[in-house]
Structure 1
Amino acid sequence: MAKILIADNFALIREGIKKVLHSEPEITVVAETDHGGNVLRLVEKHKIDIVLLDINIPGMHGLDILKDLKKHFQNLPVLMLSMHPAQDYALRSLKLGASGYLRKDSPTEELVKAVQMIRTGGKYIPFALAEQLANWMAGNNGEESKHAALSNREFDIMQQLATGTTLKQIAETLNITVSTATTYKNRMYKKMGFSTNADLLRYCFKNNLIL
């Protein structure tokens, strides 16, 4: 029996996942959390076999959690869950060792298929996303590679700022101070060569990075 941990900040999402997976005989949800800081502890405590991890879970960025998980539990399958349409998050997840990437608005049968595939050592990317990734990588140019140099946190803040989210709102969501969020923003602006918010918006629109 494969033991699953669900790490997502929304109780309704966690309940929905548990309901979908309840009828699967070879897997069981044994733990859940709404805070990124609990993930490593719960994996160790319950000897978890599979982690379903939300990229935007409070406390730590999901990709930073993924990095820590792969450092301490190298062979642990992790399925990243996200509402982000940007291919960049899928690429970053896979490069860090994720076993799959699934959007939260995917059909329920996709979730079951993904969990069963990574449980047996496979990788899972929905066909539509795989096709988008292939097309995106084929058309990648020098300018698009600029944001690849951003840290996961910097990239996340760039995308949130592009949607009009304030630094105060970002800080609350990520459980960091406004000062820390501002520092990440300034680092991101420097790396990207942005002078104004208009520069940020122009870049994100051009490169399909708007959430």
Structure 2
Amino acid sequence: MIRVLICDDHMIVRQGIRQSLGEACDIEVVAEAADGPAALQALRQGGIDVLLLDISLPGRDGLDVLRQAREEFPRLPVLMLSTYPDRQYAVRSLKLGASGYLNKSADSGEITAAVRRVAGGQRFITASVAELLAHALGAPSDDETPLHQLLSHREHQVFERLARGESVGEIAQALSLSSNTVSTYRARILDKTGARNDVELALYAVRRQQLPL
């Protein structure tokens, strides 16, 4: 029996995944969590074979939780779940040690197949993600390498909003952060991308096609 922990902040999503996996006789959802700390606590109690982890979580985002999980449980398969376009987070998740990346729009059969595959020690990568990964692995390691790949998930969220012209206060309210925290993220983003101000940051985002559709 493959014992699964689902971490997603939306109860209806957790229920949908639980229902999908419930049709498989070899998979059992044994625990649920609505945020990263709760998921890590459940993992520490043991008895989990696969973690299904949402990228967008309150507080510590999914990529931060993935890093922590890989440190504490290096052999645990982690399957990332997301509503974002694959190009935004799939490669980043895999580079951080995820065993697979799956969009929440996937049907129940694909979710079940993904859980079985990562539980067996293999990677689960869709055709679209495989293409992105091949491109990333073939990217040059010189100055042409996209600097935004150095951003953390939360920094990338702030980066996108800054590029769309949102103020620090607006971003703080939207992401439930303090203005000081957003300002700190902004300073890191400018440093990592080499932009001197928000206008240059927006131009960078347009050139790199990093503004979400």
TM-score, normalised to structure 1's length?
0.87
In the alignment, the residues of structure 2 paired with residue 120 and residue 172 of structure 1 have an alpha-carbon distance, to the nearest angstrom, of 42
Long gaps (5+) in structure 1: none
Moved more, 142-151 or 45-54: 142-151
The corresponding residue for 1:183 is 184
Q: Partner residue of 1:64?
A: 64
Q: Which amino acid is the alignment partner of residue 73 of structure 1?
A: F
Determine the structure 1 residue equivalent to 2:209: 208
- Bigger mean CA deviation after superposition, 169-178 or 7-16: 169-178
Query: Which of 183-192 and 142-151 deviates more?
Result: 142-151
TM-score, normalised with respect to structure 2: 0.87
SS at match of 2:143: coil
Tell me the distance in 1 between the aligned counterparts of 2:18 and 2:43: 17
The residue that corresponds to 2:157 in the other structure is: 156
Gaps of at least 5 residues in structure 2 are none
SS in 2 for 1:51: strand
State the partner residue of 2:117. Answer: 117
Indicate the larger mover: 155-164 or 37-46: 155-164
Q: How many equivalent residue pairs?
A: 211
Other structure's SS at 2:74 match = coil
CA-based RMSD of the aligned residues comes to 2.3
Bigger relative CO (Cα 8 Å, ≥ 6 apart):
1
C-alpha displacement at 1:170, in angstroms?
A: 4.5
CA distance in 2, matches of 1:45, 1:37: 13
Matched with 2:34 is: 34
Is residue 43 from structure 1 mapped to residue 43 from structure 2 by the alignment?
Answer: yes
Is the Cα contact below 8 Å between 2:86 and 2:129 reproduced in 1?
Answer: no
> Cα offset for 1:62?
1.0
Matches within 5 A, 1:162-181: 162-163=163-164, 167-168=168-169, 170-171=171-172, 174-181=175-182
